[in-house]
Amino acid sequence: MTDEAEVELLRRLRPPVTGPDSAFVAQERNALMAHILRSAPELPTTPVAQAPRHRPRWFLPVVVLASATTAAAGWAVLRPDPKTSTAVACGDSIIASSTGDPVADCSAVWRRENGSEPPPLVAYLGPGGGVHVLPAAQKPPEGFSALAPSFRQEAAIIELRAELADVSRGLPSACFGETEARELVAAQLRRLGLADWSITTRPAEQRPATACATGGPNYATAALDPEHKRVLLIPNLGAPPPQDLPFMKLSRWLTEEFVEGPRRRCVPVDEALNLAREQATQLGLREEAGHIVFIIVPSAEPAGPTCARPTTVVGGTTIVTIRAVPR
Amino acid sequence: MATNRTDEELIRASFTEPELFALIFDRHMRSVHAFLGRRVGIDGADSLTGETFRIAFERRTTYLVDRSDSLPWLYGIAHNLLRHHWRGLAREDRSLRRLGAVEHSDSEDDTLLDRVAAQAMWPRVQEALDTMRHEDRDVILLVAWEELSYAEVAVALDVPIGTVRSRLHRARRHLQELISAIGKEGDDNPMTSDGRCVG
């Protein structure tokens, strides 16, 4: 018998598979496009270095699904200054920053996914400018330099990214023409003390875009450029998610309850978390099933009065971040 | 033209033009769907194909730039999804047997005799595949059914190429033992010198 005989036999026995019909292909392509456009925007022009083989696999794939959507914008701002980045690589999973403390953010993910306390962790600056967190016992790859324990990413930029990506009040929430998109971004820049930032738009003719009712392109994506203190609005194909999806209903409820509108109330983050969990359960979104993840961001100034302010972003999982913001 | 670009060029370009990733879907969706269909049936393939590309999009920064063809990388993502999919199933439901009988081989130079002989062996081959270590089965099926090179299998499974060789060797030996056993069963299924069943 030749070395190839078994392989050849298997080749002959390859099960025939009926290819998907064109309607299915179109449906899946549309779903992917919707995901891409919701996920937004720009990544660095050089790929992140591959993590070393045999690295410890910290987190379940759901974390990557849950986090990478919102992290995509974060990598766009990683290179020049790690303080203005909005993403962290926890081991081999990229997550969106929440608190600004990369070790705290990765520790929270570890607890959520493994149900145990993480080992001692250390934050590093990677050769591409990214912020990485690894177990202290693990030798960092070449080119990594340890960041001081006091290192923090800028909370205002992290919050700006989250607000602009919010599904019920951010750029993905409706078809925004250029004027409306600029107004929305400008309001957030003012609120977050980033009034010296500018807003620019990428011309629609550089890429295909959905037309809004006003006739102009839909600016559904924003890339943050802290180095030049600007928000770049990018026209996109695609439409806002259907309003009757559970995560949309939850996000709208959170916005009306805690952010804007006549029902708005100021409550501590813990109370908002309990209320949000109840509402999510009623809508069929279950944490234990990986449908939804709640993240709490305490106030940087715990002494002052604060109100809970939730944001909702959606990738493979709905992520609700509830921040304590000054009253 | 974006359609003239290699996978590597498209994936790099999708860092700044995310929509271009849809062209990766256009190129490889049917292959990924077929790969999944051969392992879990069409229903499973329908539910996992889209997820494969969504994860690939999210993880595109981990795609290595020296690979012009992204299909092995996509198979690797699909393979990980399969593992998670199988983890929730009973052993019987993970078996290749549930895919049913092979109806034909798509190799054009197969003779009718070859096809009939191979089909007659399918239940025993399924049994051999079901009983071998899953790491070995993954390798031999990627080589035989998806026609990947050893280097491409190494990419798909994220293992060194030497590991691919050793797993393939084990998988072949396992199948060889089975085929030899069939050969000894009698004249009903005589074997040719290259291991094929001819009757």
**pLDDT tens profile B21-53:** 888 998 899 999 999 998 888 888 888 899 899
Q: Is A207 on the interface with B (CB under 8 A)?
A: yes
For A212, phi and psi rounded to 5 degrees? -80, 175
Per-residue pLDDT at A18: 79
pLDDT above 50 (res B118): yes
B121 and A2 within 8 Å at the Cβ level: the answer is no
Percent of chain A with pLDDT over 70: 80
Per-residue pLDDT at A276: 97
The chain B residue lying nearest A25, using CA atoms, is B29
Q: Is A26 on the interface with B (CB under 8 A)?
A: no
pTM, whole model, 2 decimals? 0.54
Chain B hits for A44, Cβ within 8 Å: 15, 61
Q: Is A127 on the interface with B (CB under 8 A)?
A: no
**Number of neighbouring beta carbons within 10 Å of residue B153:** 26
Q: What is the pLDDT of residues A59-118, one digit of tens each?
A: 433 333 333 333 333 333 334 578 888 888 887 666 788 999 999 999 998 888 778 899
pLDDT above 70 (res A5): yes
Average pLDDT over residues A147-155: 94
Average pLDDT over residues A48-53: 35
Pick A23 or B169 by higher pLDDT.
Answer: B169
Residue at token pair 């002494």: A303
Average pLDDT over residues A38-46: 44
Q: Is A6 on the interface with B (CB under 8 A)?
A: yes
Q: Which three-class secondary structure state does DSSP give residue A121? A: strand
Half-sphere exposure of A311 (CA within 13 A, CB side): 22
Q: Residues 56 to 75 of A: which have CB under 8 A from any B CB?
A: 61, 64-65, 68-69, 72, 75
What are the strands, taking DSSP E only, across B22-80?
none
Q: How many CB pairs under 8 A join A and B?
A: 181
Q: What is the pLDDT of residues A249-269, one digit of tens each?
A: 999 999 999 999 898 999 999
Of A157-166, A223-232, B12-21, which range is least confident? B12-21
Average predicted confidence (pLDDT) for chain B: 75
Chain B hits for A24, Cβ within 8 Å: 46
Per-residue pLDDT at B108: 47
Pick B57 or A311 by higher pLDDT.
Answer: A311
A72 and B115 within 8 Å at the Cβ level: the answer is no
B53 and A72 within 8 Å at the Cβ level: the answer is no
pLDDT above 50 (res A289): yes
Per-residue pLDDT at A244: 80
Q: Is A2 on the interface with B (CB under 8 A)?
A: yes
For residues A82 and A130, give the distance between their C-alpha atoms in angstroms, rounded to a whole number: 6
The chain B residue lying nearest A42, using CA atoms, is B16
Per-residue pLDDT at A49: 34
Q: How far is B31 from chain A (nearest CA, A)?
A: 9
pLDDT above 70 (res A137): yes
For residues A210 and A238, give the distance between their C-alpha atoms in angstroms, rounded to a whole number: 6
Q: Is B49 on the interface with A (CB under 8 A)?
A: yes
pLDDT above 90 (res A198): yes
Q: Is A237 on the interface with B (CB under 8 A)?
A: yes
Per-residue pLDDT at A280: 94
Residue at token pair 């006003």: A214
A13 and B171 within 8 Å at the Cβ level: the answer is no
Per-residue pLDDT at A3: 54
Q: Who contacts A273 (Cβ-Cβ below 8 Å, separation ≥6)?
A: A294, A296, A308, A322
Per-residue pLDDT at A74: 34
**What are the tokens at B141?**
């099926």
pLDDT class for A34, splitting at 50, 70, 90? confident
Q: Report in angstroms the alpha-carbon separations of B66 from B8, B154, B160.
A: 7, 14, 16
Smallest Cβ distance to A14: which of B38, B65, B121? B38
Among A119-128, B59-68, B163-172, which range has the highest average pLDDT? B163-172
Which residue of B52, B54, B159 is the best one to mutate when testing the A interface, meaning the one whose CB has the most A CBs within 10 A?
B54
Torsion sign (Cα): A267, A269, A273, A274: negative
Q: What is the pLDDT of residues B76-95, one digit of tens each?
A: 999 988 888 777 665 555 55
Q: How far is B166 from chain A (nearest CA, A)?
A: 13
For residues A230 and A228, give the distance between their C-alpha atoms in angstroms, rounded to a whole number: 6
pLDDT class for B66, splitting at 50, 70, 90? low
For A10, phi and psi rounded to 5 degrees? -65, -35
Pick A72 or A247 by higher pLDDT.
Answer: A247
Is the ipTM higher than 0.85? The answer is no
Q: Is A15 on the interface with B (CB under 8 A)?
A: yes
Per-residue pLDDT at B182: 61
Chain A hits for B103, Cβ within 8 Å: 16
Q: Who contacts B186 (Cβ-Cβ below 8 Å, separation ≥6)?
A: none
For residues A222 and B125, give the distance between their C-alpha atoms in angstroms, rounded to a whole number: 54
Smallest Cβ distance to A19: which of B19, B33, B60? B33
Chain B hits for A50, Cβ within 8 Å: 62, 64
Q: Residues 110 to 139 of B: which have CB under 8 A from any A CB?
A: 110, 114-115, 118-119, 121-122, 125
